[in-house]
């Protein structure tokens, strides 16, 4: 009974007093039958809200161990142990009884194997569950970084009863024990793999839970109405509508807008994570290859006065002010009968079509009378592609005046004059801070789930417009909830978890 009233109160808070009153009218009319129906609905709603992981008991119960520092020799290595018996098994290798050591305290001692052979001396740090990283009792041994010492300490722990951890198993246990959600677990892997400030910033923001908070807010907004639809199904014979269709349509419009913004941010987020693709296009002998080499600070592409030297795409990455860019030099654009050169031009246009930014390189000394806008139009690029017109060879002639609406930079690729202006323009356009409070999606799995959730939400809205029965609408509502819940791991399949954690290093 208490659960039923609690659920009714939640629905009242979300969708107004009219629903609350109707629920009580039905309660009085149907007495015992109503008690069963409402309690069942409350239980269903509670299940939707809780979304408990079916893999909570999947951990085999073993105490696991692994080397958590990078492979090879070093000044210090860290061996991590986690599980119910972490303190007891760690004590068999360490010279002090770890069960009496205070939480989050470090103690000095010696490491020995089962035969009593001295292996090393170092520190043991204690983290008691459930406030440890994994949610379990955890011990971290700080030992000298000799590969021999590392292997011998690991061997001693395994002989004592520990099991070698699998890839990502510590983080997997943190997820299964409710310490982090699935988006945060993925952020841990992204943080470890981050090679530039942009990727680091994105991973850190996701690890702090901002993305999961937004997904959970979307789920909660939808769950309230899902509960009302379930009530309607329970009382279908009474022809009563609990859910205000106009309010639900307004809710759906808001949810669709928020989900769409997240899904659309994937193109930018993924590019920032993997390297923002920048295609360098232009006619032959405009200095495209020279520009690539100058940006990279390396002679990556062959430079020649002979037109058509570049036949294939040449690409490489560099970091500019904390952001990773992937610059792509392409074949010169012109009409040609040469089959090989024509293929190079086709590939150039193909790269431009999927790039985030296109640098259209023109020669300030020869192209001053060209119709720049028509050249851009001839590329047939998508409207959302960032285009910069680069007037090269400005050391030979000044850049001509062009349409103020065009984004232009004047520079000399050979001398480096104006190159900083181009770099600043690229950084300013992609600087994550410029997006304010907006969240950015960087993970393909999240993008696919958001796209599926968007389709399900649109189907719900279309169903309302066409006055489709509640039971059919409820199916699409459940689908939308399912896809949103997949993102944070509230619902998941074993193979998804296996794929995610298999990409972690052992020891994390």
Q: Which two tokens stand for residue 210?
A: 């901002």
Residues 141 and 276 occupy one common structural domain: no
Q: What angle do CA 164, 188, 65 make, to 5 degrees?
A: 15
Cα–Cα distance for residue pair 482/303, rounded to 1 Å: 54
Residue 122 confidence (pLDDT):
97
> What residues contact residue 208 under an 8 Å CB cut-off, 6+ apart?
none
Considering the domain boundaries, does residue 379 fall inside one? yes
Considering the domain boundaries, does residue 231 fall inside one? no
Considering the domain boundaries, does residue 468 fall inside one? no
Residues 289 and 431 occupy one common structural domain: yes
Q: Which of 125, 149, 176 is the last residue of a domain?
A: 176
Residues 159 and 296 occupy one common structural domain: no
Considering the domain boundaries, does residue 71 fall inside one? yes
Cα–Cα distance for residue pair 139/268, rounded to 1 Å: 40
Domain count for the chain: 2
Residues 166 and 295 occupy one common structural domain: no
Q: Are 359 and 278 in contact (CB under 8 A)?
A: yes
Question: For the domain that residue 93 is a member of, what is the CATH number?
Answer: 3.30.1360.120
Residue 6 confidence (pLDDT):
33
**Ordered strands of the 314-320 beta sheet:** 314-320, 323-329, 276-281, 357-363, 386-392, 408-410
Considering the domain boundaries, does residue 333 fall inside one? yes
Q: Which of 372, 402, 435 is the last residue of a domain?
A: 435
Q: Which two tokens stand for residue 455?
A: 């389709």
Residue 392 confidence (pLDDT):
93
Question: For the domain that residue 399 is a member of, what is the CATH number?
Answer: 3.40.50.300
Residue 298 confidence (pLDDT):
80
Cα–Cα distance for residue pair 313/332, rounded to 1 Å: 10
Residues 278 and 424 occupy one common structural domain: yes
Q: What is the pTM of this model?
A: 0.69
pLDDT in tens, the chain (508 residues): 333 333 333 333 333 323 333 333 332 222 333 333 333 333 333 332 343 443 443 457 899 999 999 889 999 999 999 999 999 999 999 999 999 999 999 999 999 999 999 999 999 999 999 999 999 999 999 999 999 999 999 999 999 999 999 998 999 999 999 999 999 999 998 998 888 888 888 889 889 988 999 999 999 888 877 777 777 666 555 555 555 677 888 889 999 999 999 998 898 888 888 889 999 999 988 988 899 999 988 877 767 666 666 677 888 889 898 888 999 998 888 888 888 888 988 998 999 999 999 999 999 888 877 788 888 998 999 988 999 999 999 988 888 877 778 889 999 998 999 999 999 999 988 875 445 446 889 899 999 999 999 999 999 999 888 888 878 888 898 899 999 999 988 765 555 556 566 666 666 6
Considering the domain boundaries, does residue 312 fall inside one? yes
Cα–Cα distance for residue pair 271/284, rounded to 1 Å: 28
> What domain range includes position 157?
64-176
Considering the domain boundaries, does residue 363 fall inside one? yes
Considering the domain boundaries, does residue 204 fall inside one? no
Cα–Cα distance for residue pair 182/209, rounded to 1 Å: 10
Residues 427 and 294 occupy one common structural domain: yes
Q: Which of 176, 203, 234 is the last residue of a domain?
A: 176
Residue 199 confidence (pLDDT):
85
């Amino acid at each position: 009974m208490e659960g039923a009233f609690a659920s009714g109160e939640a629905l009242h808070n979300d969708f107004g007093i009219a629903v609350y009153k109707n629920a009580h009218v039905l309660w009085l009319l149907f007495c015992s039958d109503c008690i069963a129906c409402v309690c069942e609905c409350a239980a269903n709603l509670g299940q939707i809200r809780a979304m408990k992981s079916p893999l909570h008991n999947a951990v085999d119960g073993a105490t696991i161990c692994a080397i958590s520092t990078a492979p090879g020799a070093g000044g210090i290595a860290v061996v991590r142990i986690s599980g119910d018996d972490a303190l007891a098994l760690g004590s068999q290798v360490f010279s002090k009884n770890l069960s009496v050591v205070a939480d989050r305290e470090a103690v000095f001692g010696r490491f020995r194997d089962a035969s009593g052979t001295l292996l090393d001396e170092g520190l043991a740090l204690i983290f008691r569950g459930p406030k440890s990283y994994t949610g379990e009792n955890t011990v971290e041994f700080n030992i000298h970084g000799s590969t021999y010492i590392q292997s011998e300490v690991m061997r001693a722990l395994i002989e004592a009863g520990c099991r070698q951890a699998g890839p990502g198993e510590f983080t997997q246990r943190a997820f299964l024990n409710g310490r982090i959600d699935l988006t945060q677990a993925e952020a841990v892997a992204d943080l470890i793999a981050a090679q530039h400030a942009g990727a680091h910033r994105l991973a850190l923001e996701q690890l702090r839970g901002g993305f999961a908070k937004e997904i959970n807010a979307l789920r909660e907004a939808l769950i309230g109405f899902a509960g009302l639809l379930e009530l309607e199904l329970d009382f279908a014979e009474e022809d009563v509508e609990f859910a205000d269709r106009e309010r639900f349509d307004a809710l759906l419009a808001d949810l669709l807008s928020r989900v769409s913004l997240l899904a659309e941010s994937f193109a930018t987020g993924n590019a920032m994570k993997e390297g923002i693709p920048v295609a360098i296009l232009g006619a032959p002998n405009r200095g495209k290859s020279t520009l690539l080499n100058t940006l990279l600070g390396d002679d990556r592409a062959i430079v020649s006065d002979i037109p058509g030297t570049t036949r294939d795409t040449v690409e490489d990455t560099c970091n500019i002010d904390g952001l990773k860019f992937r610059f792509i030099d392409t074949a010169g654009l012109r009409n040609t009968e040469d089959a090989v050169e024509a293929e190079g031009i086709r590939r150039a246009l193909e790269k431009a079509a999927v790039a985030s930014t296109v640098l259209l390189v023109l020669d300030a000394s020869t192209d001053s009378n060209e119709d720049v806008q028509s050249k851009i139009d001839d590329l047939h690029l998508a409207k959302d592609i960032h285009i910069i017109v680069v007037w090269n060879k400005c050391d030979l002639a000044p850049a001509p005046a062009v349409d103020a609406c065009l984004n232009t930079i004047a520079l000399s690729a050979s001398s480096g004059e104006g190159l900083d202006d181009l770099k600043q323009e690229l950084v300013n356009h992609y600087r994550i801070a410029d997006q304010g409070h907006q969240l950015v999606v960087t993970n393909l799995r999240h993008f696919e789930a958001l796209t599926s959730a968007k389709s399900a939400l649109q189907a719900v809205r279309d169903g309302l417009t066409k006055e489709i029965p509640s039971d059919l609408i409820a199916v699409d509502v459940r689908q939308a909830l399912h896809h949103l819940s997949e993102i944070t791991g509230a619902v998941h399949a074993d193979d998804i978890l296996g794929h995610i954690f298999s990409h972690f290093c052992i020891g994390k």
